[in-house]
Amino acid sequence: MADEESKKKDKSTPSSVGSGAYGDPPRVDESKQGEPPTGSDMPSPSDTFNRGLRAISKDARPEDFEDLQGLYSIMYMERKAERYMPRDPDSPPSPDDTMTAQNKPYDKTEGFVFPFRGKETEKLAEVTKSEPKAFLNAAAMFKDLSKYIFAPHLLRQLVGNEIHYYDPIDIDRDKSAREGKIKSERHTYGFTQISISAVKLYVLEFPILRQYFERKKHIGPNYEIKGLLDPECAPMIVAAVCEHHLKLWKDQNNDDGVPIPITAKTLAYGYNPDVYDVNGTLETSPVPIYGARKILMPSERVIAISKHVKKVFERDY
């Protein structure tokens, strides 16, 4: 009888690992409220989640930590969920996956039509209109990114690539957003093709990005989309994305068991990861296979087959 009572007691008491995951929330030291939790104070659904949260919270304001944790949790779980979302490989692509004849970006003779092709220099001039050294200055604003001499050129290449592949669906989305019609915060906008939900995370992670938006008069409700649609904000947004990955990858190993190399190509990959592990075989997206795992920690093998990395560096902007 005593053994049965003991077992019942054990079952009703959450263990220290993952405490609060199945019922009662973990105890919080009231003296530390408002500060990013560390060590034993940190809830532990997984080591990778906790390491990432600790990394991105280093520069955040204490009062922003709760919102930062929530947004990071959503992003983390969305990435995890990708491998469990089956898609029929025989089904036609959706407008968000590719471009359709109905939206007129595809011509049977010309193929895919990208309206800004040949106008990349003109569009990049809009980015640097009031700040000719915008990419250099943006790289210098982030302490880890500023250590890499290739950073300004990388930022320009990333924005130039997004302009090169800017399609009519992107244009329609941006036009609707300027009119106040935003279908989803997960859609991507502007010359950076970054989502509103991602920007919400980055402004909490990097207060300097929020300050930059304020300098550009992007304040009040929906200031994130205002910044995304402003070409002059593109260098700072792209720099924030790269800095985010530099923080996440610090002291981390990739799937090959070696530290993630920090190069222009690995950071370009982090901007738009497109390689999947499909039962041990690396394949590029789209991979409509149930259980395919998107690789977020780049290695030399991953970089070698990434279509996105190849596109970023196949021409000089």
- Burial class of residue 271 (count of CB atoms within 10 Å of its CB; 0-12, 13-18, 19+): buried
Structure confidence at residue 207 (pLDDT)? 94
* CA dihedral over 19, 25, 30, 36, signed as positive or negative: positive
Residue 192: which of 139, 145, 233, 245 has the closest Cα?
A: 233
Q: Which of 24-28, 132-136, 217-221, 235-239 has the lowest mean pLDDT?
A: 24-28
Q: Which structure tokens are listed for 158?
A: 């990333």
Q: Calculate Rg over the CA atoms of the chain.
A: 22
> Which is more confident, 164 or 289?
164
Band of pLDDT at residue 82, cut at 50, 70 and 90? low
Beta bridge partners of 293: 277
Residue 83 has pLDDT above 70, yes or no: no
Structure confidence at residue 284 (pLDDT)? 85
Band of pLDDT at residue 281, cut at 50, 70 and 90? confident
User: What is the average per-residue pLDDT within 291-308?
Assistant: 90
Q: Cβ(264)–Cβ(270) under 8 Å? A: no
Structure confidence at residue 286 (pLDDT)? 62
Residue 30 has pLDDT above 90, yes or no: no
Domain ranges within the chain, ordered by starting residue: 101-252
Structure confidence at residue 66 (pLDDT)? 78
Average pLDDT score over the chain: 78
Strands, E assignment, 127-274: 188-189, 194-195
Residue 208: which of 264, 139, 268 has the closest Cα?
A: 139
Distances (CA, A) of 57 to 37, 50, 51, 147, 204: 10, 11, 10, 20, 8
Q: Is 60 left (phi over 0), alpha (psi -120 to 50) or beta?
A: beta
Band of pLDDT at residue 19, cut at 50, 70 and 90? very low
Provide DSSP, 72-141. HHHHHHHHHHGGG----TTSPPPTTTS--GGGS-EETTTEE--TTTT-HHHHHHHHTSS-TTHHHHHHHT
- 195-247: pLDDT as tens digits: 999 999 999 999 999 999 999 999 998 999 999 999 999 999 999 999 999 99
Q: Which structure tokens are listed for 76?
A: 């983390």
| 85/101 Cα distance (integer angstroms) | 27
Structure confidence at residue 251 (pLDDT)? 86
Residue 99 has pLDDT above 70, yes or no: no
Structure confidence at residue 57 (pLDDT)? 74
> Which is more confident, 44 or 241?
241
> What predicted TM-score, i.e. pTM, was given to this entire model?
0.74
User: What is the average per-residue pLDDT within 12-29?
Assistant: 34
- 141-166: pLDDT as tens digits: 999 999 999 999 999 999 999 999 99
